Amino acid sequence: MNTFNRVISILDRSLMKIEELILSFAIIVISVMVIGNVLSRTFTGASWAFNEEISRFALFLATFIGISYVARKGRHISMSAFFDLAPHKIRKALAIIIPLVTAIVLFVLAYYAYGYMASVRDSGRVTAALRFPYYWMLIAVPLGFVLGGIQFLRNAWINIKEKDVYLATDKKDYDRTDGAI
Amino acid sequence: GCGNGGDDAAEDNGDAGGDGETYEWRFVTEENQGQVQYEYAEEFAERLNEKSDGQINIDVYEFGGLGSEVDQVEQLQSGVVEFAIVSPGFTGTMVEEGQLFALQFLFPDDVAETQEVLETSEALNTHLAEKYEEHNIKPLSFWTEGAMQWTGSTQLRTPDDFQGFAMRTQESPLIMESYRQYGADPTAMSWSELYTGLQQGTVDGQENPIFFIEDAGFHEVQDHMTISNHNNYVAMTTVNPGFYNDLPEDIQAMIDETVEEMKEVGFELQDQMNEELLDAIIENEDYPTDVYELNEDEREQFRELAEPMRDYFRENGGEDAAEILDMLEEEIEEVTGEEA
Amino acid sequence: MVTTLLAIMVIFLFLGFPMMIPLILAPLVVVLFFFPNVDPIFMVQQMMEGISSYVLLAVPLFIFAADIMSTGKTSKRLLDFVGAFVGHLRGGYAITTAAACTLFGSISGSTQATVVAIGKPMRERLLKVGYKDSSAIALIINASDIALLIPPSIGMIIYALISGTSVGELFIAGIGPGLLIFLFFAIYAYIHAKIFNIPLAEKTTWNARFKLTGKALFPLGFPVIIVGGIYTGIFTPTEAAGISVLYAIILEVLIFRSIKITQIPSIALSTGLVTSAVFVLVAGGQAFAWVIQFARIPQLITDAFLGGDPSAVYVLVIVAIFFFIGCMFVDPIVVILILTPIFYPAAMQAGVDPVHLGVVITFQAALGSATPPFGVDIFTASAVFNKSYLDVIRGTPPYIVMLLIVSILVIMFEEISLFYRFL
Ligand code: NA
Ligand code: NA
């Protein structure tokens, strides 16, 4: 059991590193593409025809691979007024139910995202400038939903296992000991 | 609209469809109210409604509500919407042969002759149509929205005028390569940024039919327009084949009949709109635009530079590109009586 | 069907689900139950459509530039510069906060970044001179809203994308209303300081002012590049965003040497995190908007509220009310995505200028961002200052009243937004 936990923990750390790398790299690639294109257009008169496709690909990657990373950090935008004001017991229940249901929805979306990707693949559509199969642009979508779903399952699990309320595996609920509410 | 032709038919066909079933269909376009495609679709819907005595109701969607042009095509292919007007330019990354409509100086100079080719061509209506049907798109007719013209911040009369000229085009390798042949720097830009791009000089010029230029106000931010007639903006009226084939025969016949009627209606729609709006551009004193029509000599210079693009298309336009273009060239010759 | 759509949205939202879930689940359920011939994969198609536009790339780039500069020295230099000139006035620290938020707004497209960059250092200074914490926080979150109106503005980019209006023109049009809010806040700061007898700070010498101005010169080059570059046509808005990243890196890494180049990837990571959190909403919002359009709901709404031949001002008031209510519950970007296509055609028919409409809509989004029950700025402040939700909203009422007044002025007088056309 101990070895199992350690393996999971190593996998988890590596996955997080990969997600961080992808997010960071995507933003840098977008910057390089857009800046490079404008400099090239200004100084040589020629645009980078591939800049739009590569930038868009990087944005898709950041958006969907980011789902699980943002979930890990508890940073998805939500309206937490009711959650924040609720008594501890209800908060605890919500902290389990919300990520659980969220995970299910994300898995369903992963299924449809795969379906969409498959239909684009079958249509034979290619990108306009670099002419690579368009469905490559979509690979991040089902993958991102699956990874996001897994992370939300873990957010539910930590609330089942631990006594305190966790907003995410990496984020405990705000400290309420200052008697604010 | 001018749909009085359908009144008598509606009474005759009162029981069309046999079982009295009603139909609710959707028709998406790539343009907005007041522009050719949308007005075409509205007229199409109205006529079918009258013919069927109210049995067929078609909701027409403006551009944007259901996504991009490519999204709309995918929705047609899947049967989410039943009808669509599709520009082959937006499906060129899927049905590559459809890029032939981007070849400049291919179709006859005269728009009416172009329309004749579009209506009668076997290359288009049989062979190219098959290519689309392989992708679950059934073209019912090919028609023109009018000849394309150039606008520019400087006058465009000869290929020399295109040297170093930043020409905005659609994101299509064939179109971009065509302008490189003239010596221009083609730049792909979304049309929602185009007005500002022209105003501020990020790009120097663009191509479109007159009605679109006027409607989008491009003449407000351009000093020159050249009546170049270098190409025709071609659109296809399309239907989802599965949906169409499952319809009762009398309903299919009703659709076919309407498509036939719309050939003339569509032609007049664009003709009238392009003519009226050309006058509007010329007479606009707030935003004066110098309008110049290319003479035969000047057209010839561009035609020569455009010619090699046909071989480019034969090589890069998909497996049946050469066959379809050869056949089309012959058909054009038959209509015009001279070599295409 | 409308009931199903709204019920799912409201219930999941109030329970505290990540906002992307109700946004995607509601249209998905409607498609599954009401439109059997629509394959649900089209919800995914529309999510991709929502984030496919080249213009949208300006959003992560502007966030990245602001992240680089709030990590570095830019925001502090702007604060010192403003403080040197107005800090000694009555209410000077509050005025400094508002002015610095306005200036930082010309770098940042988002209110949250401004809360972090200006709010953090200013709160300490405000507390030191005797402001109550609730007044300090209320000032910070509301003044940060000005960032949404001063170019660059993420809200305006989204509006421009949907309506086909020029981003460049919208950017310029936001400046008037942004400065008007600043003016109201500055006057309020003066009166508030007088009533509560906030002590005066020492006056900065001209010598020091001169020095601090020098230090702020490079950061002040930002608005010149962004507004000037777009207005003169050197760049498109996306390109301007790219150039602002380049400028930020040159400034912080090469000139100020406050950031090492090796720190850039970790700053990019935090930009990536915010980008993902925002763009899943943009994606979901497009799926939601698609179902609304497909079911022809806009026609129902405009028939009900804007039937007959309404005047331009009436349409704008209805638009403002819908957006204000929407932003009370949902992220402003989502509200702009969903409501703009519904109201835009009716507004055009009534003769509203598309740029003016964009400013009114962005203004409501800014107002909504700081207004309970939901407000992105409230949650940001709550996280940044480690304060409870109620503590954060306690001091906001006077600001909401002022913003409402300015909002009415902006609706009534389109000249406030369209001033540049008279230049
Ligand atoms: Na801003
Ligand atoms: Na709010």
Model confidence band, residue B264 (pLDDT cutoffs 50, 70, 90): very high
Q: Does a structural domain hold residue A26?
A: yes
Residues in chain B, overall count: 340
More confident residue, C337 or A111: A111
Model confidence band, residue B248 (pLDDT cutoffs 50, 70, 90): very high
Encoded amino acid at C71, one letter: T
Radius of gyration of chain A (CA): 21
Spatial CB neighbours of A56, under 8 Å, sequence gap ≥ 6: A137, C52, C54, C57
DSSP per position, A30-93: HHHHHHHHHHHHHHHS---TTHHHHHHHHHHHHHHHHHHHHHHTT-S-B--HHHHHS-HHHHHH
pLDDT at A28: 98
Spatial CB neighbours of C213, under 8 Å, sequence gap ≥ 6: C81, C84
Interface of C with A in 262-321 (CB under 8 A): 264-266, 268-269, 271-281, 283
- pLDDT for B180 beyond 90: yes
Radius of gyration of chain B (CA): 20
Ligand nearest to the CA of C377: 2
Q: How far apart are CA C268 and CA C266, in angstroms?
A: 5
* Residue from the list B77, B135, B172 with its beta carbon closest to the beta carbon of A128: B172
pLDDT at C129: 84
Q: Under an 8 A CB cutoff, do C232 and B59 touch?
A: no
Mean pLDDT of A4-27: 93
C11 touches chain A (CB under 8 A): no
**A152: CA distance to ligand 2 center in Å?**
26
pLDDT at B19: 58
pLDDT at C124: 87
- Which helix (H) or strand (E) segment holds residue B92: the answer is none
Please state the domain count of chain A: 1
In tens, the pLDDT along B26-68 reads 999 998 888 999 999 999 999 999 999 999 999 999 888 898 8
Ligand nearest to the CA of C171: 1
Give the 3-state secondary structure of residue B149.
strand
Handedness of CA B20, B26, B27, B31 (dihedral sign): positive
Residue A35 lies in domain = 3-172
Model confidence band, residue B6 (pLDDT cutoffs 50, 70, 90): very low
Share of chain C above pLDDT 90, in %: 45
pLDDT at A69: 96
Q: Tell me the shortest Cα–Cα distance from C337 to chain A, in angstroms.
A: 16
Q: Does a structural domain hold residue A139?
A: yes
Q: Does a structural domain hold residue A152?
A: yes
Range in A102-116, C9-23, C367-381 with the lowest mean pLDDT: C367-381
Burial class (CB in 10 A: 0-12, 13-18, 19+), A39: middle
Q: Does a structural domain hold residue A111?
A: yes
**Residue B244 corresponds to which tokens in the numbers above?**
């169409």
Model confidence band, residue C303 (pLDDT cutoffs 50, 70, 90): confident
Mean pLDDT taken over chain C: 89
Range in A4-13, C17-26, C144-153, C382-391 with the lowest mean pLDDT: C382-391
In tens, the pLDDT along B108-122 reads 988 899 999 999 999
Q: Under an 8 A CB cutoff, do B171 and A52 touch?
A: yes
Closest Cα in chain B to C289: B65
- pLDDT for B17 beyond 70: no
- A/C interface, count of CB pairs below 8 Å: 197
Range in C244-248, C269-273, C388-392 with the lowest mean pLDDT: C388-392
DSSP per position, C12-26: HHHHT-BTHHHHHHH
* Residue from the list A25, A31, A65 with its beta carbon closest to the beta carbon of C64: A31
Q: Does a structural domain hold residue A144?
A: yes
Q: Under an 8 A CB cutoff, do C231 and B79 touch?
A: no
Mean pLDDT taken over chain B: 90
- pLDDT for B1 beyond 60: no
Give the 3-state secondary structure of residue A128.
coil
**Residue B196 corresponds to which tokens in the numbers above?**
């500002």
A127 touches chain B (CB under 8 A): yes
**C156: CA distance to ligand 2 center in Å?**
17
In tens, the pLDDT along B97-107 reads 999 999 999 99
pLDDT at B164: 87
Encoded amino acid at C33, one letter: F
Q: Does a structural domain hold residue A122?
A: yes
* Residue from the list A66, A102, A138 with its beta carbon closest to the beta carbon of C273: A66
Mean pLDDT of B13-24: 63
Share of chain C above pLDDT 70, in %: 100
Give the 3-state secondary structure of residue B176.
helix
Mean pLDDT of B173-185: 92
**Which residues face B187 on adjacent strands?**
B168
- pLDDT for C46 beyond 60: yes
Model confidence band, residue C334 (pLDDT cutoffs 50, 70, 90): confident
Q: Does a structural domain hold residue A79?
A: yes
* Residue from the list B135, B166, B172 with its beta carbon closest to the beta carbon of A123: B135
The torsion defined by the Cα of A173, A174, A176 and A178, in degrees rounded to 10, comes to 160
pLDDT at B11: 37
Q: Does a structural domain hold residue A178?
A: no
- pLDDT for A180 beyond 70: no
- Helix, strand, coil proportions of chain A in percent (round to 5)? 75, 5, 20
**C295: CA distance to ligand 1 center in Å?**
35
